[in-house]
């Protein structure tokens, strides 16, 4: 079997969306996340978080704060016997106030840079992989590298700017439902 992955958006998909939150005590899994990810991991998929973290560029928190976020995610998933295989984030935003991060980059979704980096790091076949997220930028990033895509239709997408790259292959209400779609 080729290496394959389920790429996951973090905020609004894997955890409850609390804008710019890096406080581990305020991080909560979304409904169905633990059970859904256990099912997907049992199918042999690597689980990799792909997240835009513009709070770094905006000066809301230091990049080092994301280490505690990743540790908290691992802690929350442990009771479900789920282990994240990777945690990739983009700290950039072109309108940021922290100059070293205030750039247009190739890793900020919908750009596919983080997916390509993870695939290279972990020898993942992107055409055998999935991207699950709660906004169309997630869908676009996944489609741009050949992944199947699932939009968690939880009301977080507000722009609905559609193009062929921004139409999800599937819709689901949460990660538990998404897990039933993934084969």
Return d(Cα 177, Cα 183) in angstroms, integer: 12
Is 138 part of the annotated catalytic residue set? no
- Give the domain extent around 141: 5-181
Share of the chain above pLDDT 70, in %: 99
- Are the CB atoms for 10 and 17 separated by under 8 Å? no
- Identify the active-site residue in 9, 134, 138, 174: 9
Look at residue 161 in the predicted model and tell me its pLDDT. Answer: 82
Q: Copy the structure tokens of residue 17.
A: 């969306």
Backbone angles phi, psi at 113, to 5 degrees: -55, -45
- What domain count does the chain have? 1
- Are the CB atoms for 56 and 103 separated by under 8 Å? no
170 or 2, which is more confident? 170
Is 11 part of the annotated catalytic residue set? yes
Backbone angles phi, psi at 15, to 5 degrees: -125, 160
For 103-152, the pLDDT digits (tens) are 999 999 999 999 999 999 999 999 999 999 999 999 999 999 999 999 99
Sign of CA dihedral 121, 125, 9, 145: positive
- Identify the active-site residue in 11, 134, 138, 174: 11
DSSP states along 77-109: HGGGT---SEEEEE---TT-SSGGG-S--SSST
CATH of the domain at 33: 3.40.50.1000
pTM as predicted: 0.96
Checking if the pLDDT of 8 tops 80, the result is yes
DSSP 131: E
Return d(Cα 102, Cα 77) in angstroms, integer: 33
Return d(Cα 3, Cα 138) in angstroms, integer: 21
Checking if the pLDDT of 64 tops 90, the result is yes
**Average pLDDT over every residue of 18-32:** 97
What integer best gives the mean pLDDT of the chain? Answer: 96
For 124-134, the pLDDT digits (tens) are 999 999 999 99
């Amino acid at each position: 079997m080729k290496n394959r992955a389920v790429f996951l958006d973090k905020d609004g998909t894997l955890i409850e969306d609390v804008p710019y939150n890096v406080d581990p005590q305020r991080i909560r899994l979304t409904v169905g996340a633990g059970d859904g990810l256990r099912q997907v991991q049992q199918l042999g998929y690597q689980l990799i978080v792909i997240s835009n973290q513009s709070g770094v560029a905006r000066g809301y928190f230091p990049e080092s704060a994301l280490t505690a976020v990743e540790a908290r995610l691992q802690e929350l998933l442990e009771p479900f016997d789920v282990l994240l295989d990777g945690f990739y984030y983009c700290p950039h935003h072109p309108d940021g106030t922290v100059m070293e991060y205030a750039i247009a980059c190739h890793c900020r979704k919908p750009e596919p840079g983080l997916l390509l980096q993870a695939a290279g790091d972990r020898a993942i076949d992107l055409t055998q992989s999935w991207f699950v997220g709660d906004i169309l930028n997630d869908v676009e990033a996944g489609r741009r590298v050949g992944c199947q895509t699932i939009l968690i239709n939880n009301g977080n997408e507000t722009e609905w700017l559609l193009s062929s790259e921004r139409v999800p292959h599937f819709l689901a209400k949460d990660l538990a439902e998404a897990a039933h779609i993934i084969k």
